[in-house]
Amino acid sequence: MNETSESRYDGLARRLSEAGATQDPAEVHGSLCGALCLHDQLPTVDLVEGADAEALQPLLQALQEFSLEGLYDSDSGFQPLLPDDQAPLPRRVKALASWCSGFVYGIASHGEFDLTHCTDEVQEVVRDLTELSRASLTDEDAGGEQGEADYAELVEYVRVGVQLIFLEMRTAERQDEPDARLH
């Protein structure tokens, strides 16, 4: 993708559309990140519906690597893939809702995720992401600076919450692995 002429989000949207995908980039990225909370390597062809997945394979593989790198970066490297700040606020809110919906789907359908075995904090974040998946905003509701501030706060909450889920799932995964050292 040429990111100088289009955002990563818009470039992915174009490529998904050209391949016939039914999901938007936010939903695809959310689903991928949810699944990555449980597994490092995923069959990316499962991420898109109604599309020529073979044609998208290199792009989706690059998105997976980019996302995993961000999730492993505990110094704020992870960012949900959303439209840039120049996009109208209702479009960005819709994309955030789609991202959250994708994430909840990804974490629930790509592994043995059991919310009841998670900490209270992770349970709360998953519940909040589920609620955020229903968010919407009309042009009339787009409240200028306050709307922008509220949106930025929600994006930061999602970013930090997903990082928390990722780290907890990875810590739990390491605790489940048998100790290979001999004593």
Average pLDDT over residues 152-164: 97
Q: Has residue 179 been placed in a domain? A: no
Q: Decide if 46 is inside a domain.
A: yes
The 10s digit of each residue's pLDDT in 92-114 is 999 999 999 999 999 998 667 89
- Taking the model in full, what pTM does it have? 0.89
Domain that holds residue 97: 8-173
From the number of C-beta atoms within 10 Å of its C-beta (0-12, 13-18, 19+), residue 24 rates as buried
pLDDT digits (tens, 9 = 90+) for 119-146: 999 999 999 999 999 998 876 666 688 8
Domain total of the chain: 1
Read off the CATH number of the domain in which 158 is found: 1.20.120.740
Q: Is residue 84 part of a domain?
A: yes
Question: Identity (one letter) of the amino acid at 165?
Answer: I
- Band (pLDDT 50/70/90 cuts) for residue 181 is very low
